[in-house]
Amino acid sequence: MIIFDSYTMSDIHSAYINLGTENLHYLQAGNGSKLLLAFHGYGNDAAMFMPFADYLPDYTIVSIDLPHHGKSNWSAHVHLDNHHLLALVKELTLLHDCTQVSLMGYSMGGRVCLKIAELMPDVVSDIILLASDGLTFNTFYYFVTRTTPGRYLFRSFLSSPNRYMPVVNWAKRRKLIDASRHKFAMQYLNGEEERFFLLKVWPCMSLLLPDYKKLRKIFSQHSIHVCVYMGKHDKIIPLSLAEQFKATLNHAHINLYILDKGHALIDADTLPVIAKSLNR
């Protein structure tokens, strides 16, 4: 039996939400009257948020397995889009008889949270972003997932990485790619299974790019409380991106917190610290 502090797997409910032809799996913990929707990062799954149940007694936590992660059933060539997100949130709010939700997202999941806030600002009360992706526009990601030449190069690289590795290693030697990012990239490029997974996930999530002009307007008109937690030593999503995000949105209710961590922010030390942002 897996134990999350005092919480055990027997306290966790597992279910699916049907979104047309696709199915997203989720885990649910807690019995509070408030609803927290949580979205994990690349290569993680819904279980990563279950330890928060010990620190958020006022909440019911619903943690979603994103497409191609965990137990979700998602077709290889279907993009997760705005209609899916709208249907997902509407279904969960109806199921839990809630009119407001709090959102929590780690890394890639943070980008999902920002898109939900953009689409449904009247429903969102709080957003907790943890080492979040999507804080600024990522030109490289847009190029390899949303343009024809970029998609071709992306697929070609992942299909035959040995053709390109001399260039990548050259860039590392010339310090055009720092050692931490090179190590992170190699983790997902060394094996065929890892490359195939990346080739599914990145395009699938590519339509969920926040519109910062819309978000700035939304945040100025709605009292959405936003907390951004970043690792001081994060080389994957550096602190400077969060500072740029805060400056771009210029929203009085955005609070930036810096933790003495790298990209992995959720552990026994940070759980109670992060939970305080929702226990207001």
Mark whether 91 and 109 lie in a shared domain: yes
- What letter does residue 211 receive in the DSSP assignment? -
Q: What is the CATH number of the domain that holds 220?
A: 3.40.50.1820
* Paired tokens of 225: 């409380």
pLDDT at residue 100 greater than cutoff 50: yes
* Over residues 226-249, mean pLDDT: 94
Mark whether 130 and 239 lie in a shared domain: yes
Percent of the chain with pLDDT over 90: 74
Give the pLDDT confidence of 105-130 residue by residue, as tens digits. Answer: 999 999 999 999 999 999 999 999 99
| 105 falls within a domain | yes
Mark whether 116 and 38 lie in a shared domain: yes
| pLDDT for the residue numbered 1 | 31
Of the residues 204, 225, 248, the one at which a domain ends:
204
Residues 6+ apart with CB under 8 A from 213: none
| 219 falls within a domain | yes
As a whole number, the mean pLDDT across the chain is 90
Mark whether 24 and 124 lie in a shared domain: yes
* Over residues 154-177, mean pLDDT: 77
| 94 falls within a domain | yes
* Paired tokens of 211: 């519109």
pLDDT at residue 160 greater than cutoff 90: no
pLDDT at residue 185 greater than cutoff 80: no
pLDDT at residue 19 greater than cutoff 60: yes
Q: How confident is the model at residue 211 (pLDDT cuts 50, 70, 90)?
A: very high
pLDDT at residue 175 greater than cutoff 80: no
Mark whether 175 and 44 lie in a shared domain: no
Give the pLDDT confidence of 29-83 residue by residue, as tens digits. Answer: 999 999 999 999 999 999 999 999 999 999 999 999 999 999 999 999 999 999 9
Mark whether 38 and 122 lie in a shared domain: yes
* Over residues 1-21, mean pLDDT: 69
Closest CA to 89 of 143, 29, 145, 38: 38
Give φ, ψ of 189 to 5 degrees: -120, -15
Q: Say if pTM beats, i.e. exceeds, 0.85.
A: yes
| pLDDT for the residue numbered 178 | 64
Of the residues 178, 204, 230, the one at which a domain ends:
204
Mark whether 127 and 159 lie in a shared domain: no
Mark whether 215 and 194 lie in a shared domain: no
Give the pLDDT confidence of 64-74 residue by residue, as tens digits. Answer: 999 999 999 99
Alpha carbons 214 and 117: distance in angstroms, whole number: 10
Of the residues 182, 204, 226, the one at which a domain ends:
204
* Paired tokens of 126: 């709080």
Q: How confident is the model at residue 252 (pLDDT cuts 50, 70, 90)?
A: confident
| pLDDT for the residue numbered 4 | 42
Mark whether 172 and 253 lie in a shared domain: no
pLDDT at residue 216 greater than cutoff 90: yes
Q: Which of 26-35, 216-225, 256-265 has the lowest mean pLDDT?
A: 216-225
| 280 falls within a domain | no
| 130 falls within a domain | yes
- What letter does residue 106 receive in the DSSP assignment? E
Residue of 187 and 45 predicted with greater confidence: 45
- What's the domain count of the chain? 2
Mark whether 187 and 245 lie in a shared domain: no
Alpha carbons 255 and 253: distance in angstroms, whole number: 6
Mark whether 44 and 110 lie in a shared domain: yes
Mark whether 90 and 111 lie in a shared domain: yes
**End-to-end Cα spacing for the chain:** 33
Give the pLDDT confidence of 125-150 residue by residue, as tens digits. Answer: 999 999 999 999 988 889 989 999 98
Domain with 252 in it: 3-137+209-275
